[in-house]
Chains A and B, each alone.
Chain A
Amino acid sequence: EEQLLESGGGLVQPGGSLRLSCAASTFTFSSYAMSWVRQPPGKGLEWVSGISGGGDGTYYADSVKGRFTISRDNSKNTLYLQMNSLRAEDTAVYYCAKRDRQYWFFDLWGRGTLVTVSS
């Protein structure tokens, strides 16, 4: 069964950094673009960042551009999100998601990891 498992969330002070990981299993990881999507408490979903299958193309929401960096290690079937200069408004559950090649929907998601930015 295809699966995504996020880790790395936690409590961090404003201005701090955190790195999220997402381990993929039972699909050809390098063949698919991946994304991070977040959900702040009590709010809706927000696409955060995406990366091509080979890792050569990266994309960011304006709200995180210059602060977050997405990357992947296809040899380890793992997706990453390096988050720097964290703000209170970055508090959210962060999901990794596998993106369909043609229609760009997300057909596989993880359960998410909670990031709390607070002093």
Chain B
Amino acid sequence: DIQMTQSPSSLSASVGDRVTITCRASQRISSYLNWYQLKPGKAPKLLIYAASSLQSGVPSRFSGGASGTDFSASGTEFTLTISSLQPEDLATYYCQQSYSTPLTFGGGTRVEIK
């Protein structure tokens, strides 16, 4: 199974701050990496698919990308960035690989507002 590791597990930032969450896969997964937002009592929401494609209806302050420029890290390191944190972004964020089954998720990153 492909293991997904997110960091940090939690963060606290101010409104307007730039926030970056990292997700690492235990093996190369090309761009089969997706990001979700979970809020208590609500349906989870897809934010980013295929590493960098913004899901329809998701605010443009959310973006996804791949980090690591050397060959050894390519296809294994990904980021979710919130360019200007808003109060409604209080949530837990999960990455998920869709390269192979079983589909696996990262451990989550809780984002709090200072």
Contacts and interface: CB of A to CB of B under 8 A. Distances in A.
B107 to A, nearest CB: 5
The prevalent SS among residues of A at the interface is strand
Contacts, number: 62
Contacts of B103: 35, 47, 50, 104
- Chain B, interface size: which category? 20 to 34
B43 A47 contact: no
- Chain A, interface size: which category? 20 to 34
A111 B43 contact: yes
A61 interface: yes
9 contacts: A44-B94, A45-B96, A45-B108, A50-B103, A95-B43, A103-B32, A103-B50, A105-B96, A109-B46
Interface of B: 32, 34, 36, 38, 41-46, 49-50, 55, 94, 96, 98, 101-108
Interface of A: 4, 35, 39, 44-47, 50, 59, 61-62, 95, 97, 100, 103-112
